[in-house]
Amino acid sequence: MAANQPAPGKNWQQTKSARTRNAILDATIDCFYELGYASTTTENVANKAGVSRGAMLHHFPTRFDLIKATVESLNKRRLEMFQTEEATIQKGATYTRVEEGIDAYWKQLNTPVFVVFQELRVAARTDKELAKVLIPALEDFNRAWYRSVREIFPDLALSEAFSRANYLTQYMLEGMAMSRLLGGPKPPVGKMIAWLKRELRRSYQDVLGKVERQTD
């Protein structure tokens, strides 16, 4: 769609308003990534988005409104990234491609979207306003993420080890990604990911290579 054309089902004013709102959310995420949550101000965001303070207030009357919308946008991006990349890797596969799926997820956890989410997660420990938004949003994301995992990996979902293996994968990879953001000793990423791949194959031996995916 051309930049000067309205979105389907919307008039020009509605399309312009949506683009401005999205530009503000993009700018907020960029500021959180570049400056950190605590150092980001609405002025920073407005300057980054190239909008006036009036436009900011029109879309997000309060800082709480901006934070809430940004968290929702982050979760949407993370979920869409996971669904798109993992489904693309598994497309046409008779059985789940475990190793490729793990590699793809690890790459997703080393993007600005995940870094910003972790920034907010840490900040929420002492910021009650942020916690009010982030905790329920995280619960919603986890439910949606696990639904997506079941849809993308239907053969693995039949395994007795499915729940345990998913927790292992999520917490192990997210924990290593988080540790890379901080100073100090770094985890042996290559060795740990290689071990995880072997462990998942062992855990899913009751279905992997025996039950076809049947999704495409």
Question: Residue ranges per domain, the chain?
Answer: 12-61, 64-216
Instruction: For domain 12-61, give the CATH number.
Output: 1.10.10.60
- Write down the pLDDT at residue 17: 87
- pTM, full prediction: 0.85
What value does the mean pLDDT take over residues 192-211?
Answer: 97
Average pLDDT, whole number, for the chain? Answer: 91
Q: Which conformational region is residue 99 in: left (phi greater than 0), alpha (psi within -120 to 50 degrees), or beta?
A: alpha
Residue 10 has pLDDT above 90, yes or no: no
| pLDDT tens digits along 43-62 | 999 999 999 999 999 999 99
- Write down the pLDDT at residue 1: 45
Residue 35 has pLDDT above 70, yes or no: yes
Q: Nearest to residue 166, comparing CAs of 147, 179, 188? A: 147
Q: Are 145 and 77 in contact (CB under 8 A)?
A: no
Task: Give me the phi and psi of 67, to 5 degrees please.
Answer: -60, -45
- Write down the pLDDT at residue 75: 93
Angle (CA) 158-163-168 rounded to 5° is 130
How far apart, in whole angstroms, are the C-alpha atoms of residue 113 and residue 190? 22
Confidence band for 8, pLDDT divided at 50, 70 and 90: low
What value does the mean pLDDT take over residues 129-147?
Answer: 93
> What does each C-alpha distance from 128 to 41, 74, 188 come to in angstroms?
17, 19, 35
Share of the chain above pLDDT 90, in %: 82
Q: Are 82 and 196 in contact (CB under 8 A)?
A: no
What value does the mean pLDDT take over residues 97-118?
Answer: 95
| pLDDT tens digits along 176-199 | 998 887 777 888 999 999 999 999
Q: Nearest to residue 175, comparing CAs of 88, 114, 103, 131? A: 114
What value does the mean pLDDT take over residues 141-149?
Answer: 94
How far apart, in whole angstroms, are the C-alpha atoms of residue 213 and residue 91? 10
